[in-house]
Amino acid sequence: MNLDRLINWAAGQASRAYPQITFADTKQELWAHCQANLPRFFDYMQRGEEGERIIRAALNQEARKYAIREREAVTGISFEDQAWYTPKAIRSILPDVYEYTNWQLFGQSDSERKPTAIINATGDRLAAIIDVKAALDKILPDQRDLLHEYYHLSWPVDAMSEARGISVAACNSRITRAVYAVREALGGPRPSDPYEATNGQFDTRSKGRRAISNSAARRATEGNY
C-alpha cells in the first residue's frame, strides 16, 4: 500500500473542496499527522483493502479538520458555525427549498421530489430553508439551473448531461460544485441573537439550536418570500 498516494488523494480532495487551503500545505499537514500516529497507520497498512478504506477515511477527516481550522483563522468563523450547513445537509433540504413559497402553498406543486414532512416540525428547519433559498440567488445561473433540474424537476443526470453536451461524470461534478457554491454563499455564522435581522431577513435559530415555535416563525417570516 502506497501511503504517499493516499495522502495525495486526500490532499487533492480537500484542496478542491476548500479554496482557503492549498494542496502542498494540506499534504504537509497530513504527513505530519501520519508521522505522529505512525504505529496506528502502520497497522492499518497491513490490513489490505480494509486498511486502505480506514486510512482514506482518517486522512479525509484530518484534511477537513485542517481546512476548517484554517478557515476559522482567516474568517473568525467558529467550527460550530461552519459545520451548520454541510453539503449533505444542503442536499437534503434543497427539495424543500424549491417547494417553499410560503406556509399556505408549501407542497402544492407538481414536483416529482416531494417535500419532507419535517418542514413544519421546527423553526430551525424553516430558517434553514430561507437561508438556502437566499443563497441560491448568489450562485451562478448555470449552477442554479443544475440544482433546479436535479432537486426539483428530478431530471436524470444522463438527460442533464446530454442537454449540456458533457459526460455524466462531468455533470455529476458540476452538481457537486453547485452544492458547494451554495455552501460558500451561505457564508458567515449564525446570528448570536435568534431575533437578529440580517438584511431584513428574520432568523429563527438560537445559538443552542433551540427553535422558536412554528406560529412565531410563521408570523416572523410572513411575506419574506
Among the ranges given (2-16, 76-90, 201-215), the one the predictor scored with the smallest mean pLDDT: 201-215
Please give the pLDDT value at position 162. 94
Whole-number Å distance between alpha carbons of 181 and 184: 5
Domain ranges of the chain: 3-76, 87-221
Contacts of 120 (CB under 8 A, 6+ apart): 214
Mean pLDDT over each residue of the chain, to the nearest integer:
75
pLDDT digits over 57-85, tens only? 899 889 988 887 887 777 666 665 555 67
Residue tagged 479525509 (cell numbers): 60
Q: What kind of fold does domain 87-221 have according to CATH?
A: Arc Repressor Mutant, subunit A (1.10.10)
For the stretch 120-156, pLDDT in tens is 444 566 777 878 888 898 899 999 999 999 999 989 9
Query: Which phi and psi (to 5°) does residue 202 adopt?
Result: -80, 140
Residue 171 has pLDDT above 90, yes or no: yes
25-29, 44-48, 143-147: range with lowest mean pLDDT: 44-48
- C-alpha cell belonging to residue 149: 433540474
pLDDT the model gives residue 25: 93
Alpha helices by DSSP H, listed for the chain, are: 3-17, 23-36, 38-45, 48-75, 79-82, 87-99, 123-136, 141-147, 157-164, 168-186, 214-221
